[in-house]
Structure 1
Amino acid sequence: MGWSVLLSVLYAVQLVTSQEYLLPGDIRPTHYDVKVVYDIDPTTNFSFYGLVDIAITAVKSTSKIVLHAQDLVISNGGIRIIGQTDELRVTASKLNDTYNLFTIELDRELRRNQSYLLTIPFSGNLKPGLNGVYISSYVSKETKIKEYLIATQFEAIYARKGFPCFDEPMYKATYTITIGHHRDFTAVSNMPLVTSSNENELESYWRWEQISKTFSKSKSLFVWDSFEKSVPMSTYLVAFVVSKFSYVDSPPMLSTTKFRIWARSDAINQAAYAAEVGPKVLTYFEKWFNVSFPLPKQDMVAIPDFSAGAMENWGLITYRETALLYDKTQSSFLNKERVAEVIAHELAHQWFGNLVTMKWWSDLWLNEGFATFMASLGVAEVEPTWRADRNYAVDNILSVLTLDSLESSHPVSVPIDDPKRISEVFDEISYRKGSTLIRMMTMFLGEEIFKKALHNYLVKYSYQNAEQDDLWRELTAVSQEYGGLARNVSVKEVMDTWTTQTGYPLLTVSRDYSQNSLTVTQKRYLALNSRSPTTSSWWVPLRVLCASDAQDSNEPIEWLAANEGVTTEHRFEHGADPDEWVLFNADMIAPYRVNYDKGNWELLIAALNSKHTSVPVLARVQLLSDAFALAWTNQLDYNIALQLANYLKRESEYLPLSTGLKALAKIENVIKRTPDYGAFQKFVRKLIGETYFKAGGLATKKIINGDDLNSVKLQTATSAWACRMKVPGCEENAIELFRSWMETDNPDENNPIPLDLRRTVYCVAVSRGSVLQWRFVLARKQRANVAAARDALLHALTCTREVWILTQYLEWAITDETEVRRQDAAAVIVSVTHSTVGYYVAREFIYNRIQDIYNAFNSEGRRLGGIIKALLEQFTTQRELDEFLKWRENNSKYLEDAKLSVNQAIEKATVNIAWLNKNRRSVVERLRELSK
């Protein structure tokens, strides 16, 4: 049985046999009144006391109330349930730790359709970690004092750590939040502040005499901030931050919504770009959706410790510092692009995810796919010269084509049988494939139809939950108003083939050169082509582009229907002469690969090597990606792929060049520890050497065309490759730039290395240097006040070849209060694993210290899974894989929450080993020939 079939069967069995992870649905909350007081003081272990009043309605008669709670101390005697006429008695309460279900048993039944008020007191101590309500810290650059703050991260299932609640996305309710804190701090939440008082808001249950037993300060030093009642929303969007941060206001003329950007006082001068971009993007989205942003304000906060890139809490978006703050003297152009992209992504969530929310995490892609797609439009609006709509589309599709070629991938709409599995689907399939499919719909429906249908969808399901079929209905309805799709197919028929199936199709095209026709077949493309074929098929949008009309073609979309081209060939007509090439998917409308007959490949190679601009940019990207992927799986002769890549010597566009280099990186990955690596380096030197020098290289102390993002990316990419491939002068120039920095009077303020070249220069210098260079970088990281600069330095420290230093660095990553912050720990381990010497050090570290790694990440499956992937994707021998499989058997309990990632990692390793056994010799021989 194939992996994909087996996984589907397992999902089905689990869904049928197990629903105990879900709340029973007997009770629905309508409003929460949450009151919590925090003592932000390490001497009290950050103790807190809280009280939540939940207005509930009984959907059906029941004598039990089941909701969620985790890491909270709840006194059975303090729980109350009051009906419209009397109070019910609580007979017992218990907590199921497996799914964090908190069950309250009553002396009699709640009556169907009746309303009640449930009151639960709770207390506890904030724990280390990056989810729930947690403590973050930083050292003030001015006072040198360590400051603490409280932040929240409730997505996906961590609101239950903040207060007892119905912690599933379909249980929407309104919220009134009151936060008690020391008066030196400021609290912000989803809604605007209404009042601040000195009265104990918990007096109905928690007397101050009780609170003062664990609090370090007197009642007179505390204030209570109460916030406006929220709009209806899911628990995972509730948020608050209690800090000593400063803020800047956005210019009021940019948006009718009040914007504030919050950060450490030392870093608030880095908030100007976010303050400008945020309101512009929000205003653009309001016009695009034709739906107003429903809240009166939007706060955006940079948190020193943050697990993800950002979190879309309604009205209070939280970010990593690198994703919100930008300093033009310390942050690179790519950092600036990242800030704009993340801001646009989170603001898109205010509609997709917040206003309309998926019913269950199986349809996470409705949140993340739309936010990823809309981010590209938002950035393109505020920074039009960056071409974000095109560039992000390419990045997304190429990423999808890689991951989704594994049998251990998963559908976009994925069954989830255990809440612990939710974090694993926050991956490239939900984000990038989701975005790719949404872009595909805009292209085959047309933007006018798409926008109108989305408006209808957002209005119809505002403050409610929806699933993908609800979206399909709205899209189909508007499409039919405009005449419908070709072949009378519905949006659901098309899109279900893309969202409910794993993978994507490979189209095989064979031309009849005498009849101006071609035939097409489809089957699933798999990285392990030797696996048994699947029966999957798709509705595939097609445009056939010919050489004669390549520059102005606007051919209508044709459809290859599901099941067409599966058992028999499907025939198409075209207008190309026998000596002209034809191309499918030239605009990359959908995620699929195309293989042509040898004659057509040769025509394409000739065109690229004579005048590559005669083939559109996106078509060049697709051709390079397809050719190398098909050669990788032995479905195309490597001679064709490498001849195709030969034209890259003359490529001046970043997208095709980077695509070709990424394809070559797969070969590099599997031969870099073999005697043949020198032949590979020689081939790539010949391929990129001239482009490297034309782009500016590392020979000068500036970016040649620093105002053009394409040029900056081209110079950055070619410089990194040139140094790795030993292009003469590259490493020497990097070392010289780094030396001049070390000799600067004030290196923390005066850095002569061009911003976007620093990662390359740092890594080369540390790799080629000694402990002296490593300690210099460490000192700069310790003093850096800009997160983007600190991030580049953090990465550079992993480039050393000193084994003892790498071992120490890995140790820091899993130890509290070291040079590695908790948020960066996984990235450090992954980066060491990818380095030349670090691979061997990290492998032993992971094998020997898995329990400590597991504990350091609080069993967070996504981050642990990423580490395992980084290790196994570099395996090249069966011995390495066998050793891992044996180790996995003995340590399975630590990998339980990372099963999907581990399976994908094993499959990637298997692919690598198979490729080496079959292709190494022939590919290296061809590389040597082409290098002459």
Structure 2
Amino acid sequence: MSPQTDLIVLKEVHGAMSVDALASSHPLSAKEEDIMRPAQISELFDTITYSKGAAVLRMLSEFLTEPVFSRGLSTYLNTFKYSNTVYQDLWKHLQMVIHDHWLDLPASVDDIMNRWILQMGFPLVTIDTATGSINQRHFLLDPDSVVDRPSPFEYEWIVPIKWIKNGKDQTPYWLQTKTATHLPMKTLGSDWVLANTKVSGFFRVNYDSGNWERLLKQLSTDHEAIPVINRAQIVDDAFNLARARTVSTILALRTTLFLQREREYMPWQTANSNLGYFFLMFDRSDVYGPMQAYLNKQVTPLFNHFKTITADWTKIPEKHTDQYNQVNAISIACSTGVAGCEELTTGWFKDWMNTPENNRIHPNLRKTVYCRAIAAGGVEEWDFAWRMYKEASIASEADKLMYALACTRVPWLLNRYLNYCLDPEKIRKQDATFTIVYIAGNVVGQSLAWDFVRTNWDHLFNDYGGGSLSFARLIEGITRRFSSEFELKQLQQFIEENAEQGFGSATLAVDQALERTKANIKWVAENKGDVLTWFTVNSA
């Protein structure tokens, strides 16, 4: 698998898992009797439908092998090219090809795949390398949440497990029951096991503490012995297991220590995404300073690496994934105060301000450079970017500027930008919700955006259409930082005040916002002290 196709793990698999780990999730395929209102149809066109759908098909392709999957898909498409189908038709065509290829599976495609599409969620597979025992359970981000949706399979999956021991591929294993024993996974001495190689399966993995320690040691001594996609997976699994209180938050943070030596995109992007949650929870608290100092220390070698390979920022890296990671290097370095970063981005932006008709900032870097320069600047930079936004003839350029305008640290500029969202002459209706979410993503703009939405909800909902899919994104975006009892009360009050007219396509998102806020409150209360200590010690 190439680095480019590996990126589906970042773009689809991780995103789908974050939503599918909530008790308010839903199966990939809905029963007809569950769909009673038009709004429920809109709700189904979400991350689960698109991203989990892609991830589960990828898993199917992996365990069938690509030639078998492609052949079955081809006969399926040819057979039904002028008609409607149901998912069972695909399973049937794949099964026919399996028989032709003598492929050995533990059950039929129908039996295996129905467990992945007819019940919500996914399993957490736990491997004890001291004994070789394996078990699975329904993974929930908040283990105290109540699952009130019954499953025809009682939340048990048939799980294809590809795995390695000390970096060498092993015979794949099928977990078909809640608990099992697979003695080859038992280890001795310094041996380590890593399951779900290439993240080919839609599940998370936990280990006994001894195996976690050996994986961390491997990352600290020679991280490249573990495939790059699995270095990212270790980070993502550990952080999500920590949020679910299955492993300690400190264990998750320790998976980022090796990043000082990491130059690849996927581990950095995964760590950045997961640490984003820490910023959301702590960027208004005393944890923020030590956390920034730690990230400054970790990203400085990466920033200097890109400075070197781009000949002091005059060239663009050859590899696509390096181009992506250059964006990470600049973004994290500037936001954590790495020496030379702010001067670099503001210098590029000033050059553009001096010659507006000649923008020499590379398109890959524009979104980050615009944001960092506007964050470091004032009204002059903001007004210039606004003028460029209004004049932009290319949609992608307008999107970058729309995002960057929300990066200012000046409250009155953010309030003015919010008010522009009510004027379709300034910001198109279809862009208004994105703009508000961008502003809410800024720690200075969070409370401003929340106040704005509550004050103008009736107008936004009625004039901008409650059936619009972006309303779910709006609710999710403005509540992401909520982590206090006060914010929970405000959210509950907002829901009560608008209960009569309802929330249209955002109904499910409102339920998820409540669930997420409660989980955040609990998580902060349990972890703040340990996290503050760890960042303080490891930023020294």
User: TM-score scaled by structure 1?
Assistant: 0.55
1:490 aligned to which of 96, 99, 108: 108
- Which residue number in structure 1 is paired with residue 508 of structure 2? 900
- Give the match for residue 866 of structure 1: 473
Is 1:692 the counterpart of 2:286? The answer is no
Q: What is the distance in 1 between the residues matched to 2:361 and 2:4?
A: 27
The equivalent residue for 1:718 is 329
Partner Cα distance (2:404, 2:162) in 1: 45
3-state SS of 1:462 partner: coil
Pairs within 5 Å for 1:25-174: none
2:212 to 594, 598, 601: 601
What's 1:228 paired with?
A: none
User: How far apart are the structure 1 equivalents of 2:110 and 2:296?
Assistant: 49
Matches within 5 A, 1:159-198: none
Unaligned runs of 5+ in 1: 1-379, 381-385
Matches within 5 A, 1:742-753: 742-744=353-355, 747=356, 749-753=357-361
1:196-345 equivalences under 5 Å are: none
Q: How does 1:481-880 map to 2 (within 5 A)?
A: 481-487=100-106, 489-512=107-130, 518-531=132-145, 535-547=154-166, 549=168, 553=169, 555-561=170-176, 563-565=177-179, 569-574=180-185, 576-696=187-307, 702=313, 704-744=315-355, 747=356, 749-816=357-424, 818-880=425-487
* Cross-structure match for 1:407: 23
Q: CA deviation at 1:388?
A: 2.7
Q: Residue 125 of structure 2 contacts residue 203 of structure 2 at CA under 8 Å; is this kept in 1?
A: yes
Is 1:465 paired with 2:84?
Answer: yes
Counterpart residue type for residue 645 of structure 1: T
AA at the equivalent of 1:843: W
8 A contact 1:445–1:485 mirrored in 2: no
In 2, Cα distance between equivalents of 1:878 and 1:501: 32
SS at match of 1:603: helix
Q: Structure 1 residues 572 and 691 mapped into 2: Cα distance closer, same or farther (>3 Å)?
A: same
Higher strand share: 1
Normalised to the residue count of structure 2, the TM-score between the two structures is 0.93
Determine helix, strand or coil for the equivalent of 1:541: strand
Inter-partner Cα distance in structure 2 for 1:752 and 1:699: 15
Cα distance 1:754–1:897, how it changes in 2: closer, same or farther (>3 A)? closer
- What SS does structure 2 have at the residue aligned with 1:573? helix
Greater relative contact order, per chain length (Cα 8 Å cut-off, separation 6+): 2
The one-letter amino acid paired with 2:125 is L
Pair 792,410 (structure 1): closer, same or farther in 2 beyond 3 Å: same
State the Cα distance separating 1:767 from its structure 2 match: 2.1
Cα deviation 1:174-224 (Å, max 9, x = unaligned):
xxxxxxxxxxxxxxxxxxxxxxxxxxxxxxxxxxxxxxxxxxxxxxxxxxx
Could you tell me how far 1:639 is from its partner in structure 2?
Answer: 3.0
Q: Kindly indicate whether the alpha-carbon contact (under 8 Å) linking 2:22 and 2:512 is maintained by their aligned counterparts in 1.
A: yes
Residues 272-320 of structure 1: CA deviation (Å, up to 9, x unaligned) = xxxxxxxxxxxxxxxxxxxxxxxxxxxxxxxxxxxxxxxxxxxxxxxxx
Q: CA deviation at 1:402?
A: 1.1
1:627–1:641 CA contact under 8 A, matched in 2: yes
- AA aligned to 1:852 is H
Query: How far 1:732 sits from its partner (Å)?
Result: 2.7
SS of residue matched to 2:469: helix
Unaligned residue ranges in structure 2 (runs of 5+)? none
* Cα pair distance change 1:688/1:915, threshold 3 Å: same
Amino acid at match of 2:436: I
Give the share of equivalent positions with the same residue, in percent: 30
Question: What amino acid does structure 2 have at the position aligned with 1:505?
Answer: P
Once the two structures are TM-superposed, the CA of residue 697 in structure 1 deviates from its matched residue by 9.1
Q: Deviations for 1:756-807, whole angstroms, at most 9, x for unmatched residues?
A: 2222222222222221111111111222222222221121211223333322
Aligned CA-pair RMSD: 2.1
Aligned residues of 2:167 and 2:225 also touching (Cα < 8 A): no
The aligned amino acid for 2:141 is A
Quote the residue 2:532 is aligned against: 924
What's the offset of the Cα at 1:894? 4.4
Report the CA distance between 1:548 and its aligned residue: 5.3
User: In structure 2, how many angstroms separate the alpha carbons of the residues matched to 1:836 and 1:698?
Assistant: 33
| Structure label with greater radius of gyration | 1
Residue 835 of structure 1: SS of its match in structure 2? coil
User: Offset of 1:916 from its aligned partner?
Assistant: 0.3
Distance 2:377 2:321 in 1: 31
Deviation at 1:575, TM superposition (A): 7.4
Deviation at 1:391, TM superposition (A): 1.4
Higher helix share: 2
**Whole-Å separation in 1 of the counterparts to 2:15 and 2:478:** 19
Residue 541 of structure 1 contacts residue 559 of structure 1 at CA under 8 Å; is this kept in 2? yes
Q: How many residues align?
A: 531
Q: CA deviation at 1:895?
A: 0.8
1:414-433 to 2 correspondences below 5 Å: 414-415=30-31, 416-433=35-52
Distance 1:639 1:858, change over 3 A: closer
Q: Which amino acid aligns with 1:827?
A: F
Q: Does 1:914 align with 2:522?
A: yes
Distance in 2 between residues matched to 1:712 and 1:703, nearest whole Å: 13
Kept after mapping to 1: 8 A contact 2:142/2:243: no
Q: For the Cα contact (< 8 Å) 2:306–2:313, is it kept in 1?
A: no
Aligned residues of 1:850 and 1:894 also touching (Cα < 8 A): no
Shift in Å, 1:632: 2.0
Cα drift, residue 822 of structure 1: 2.5
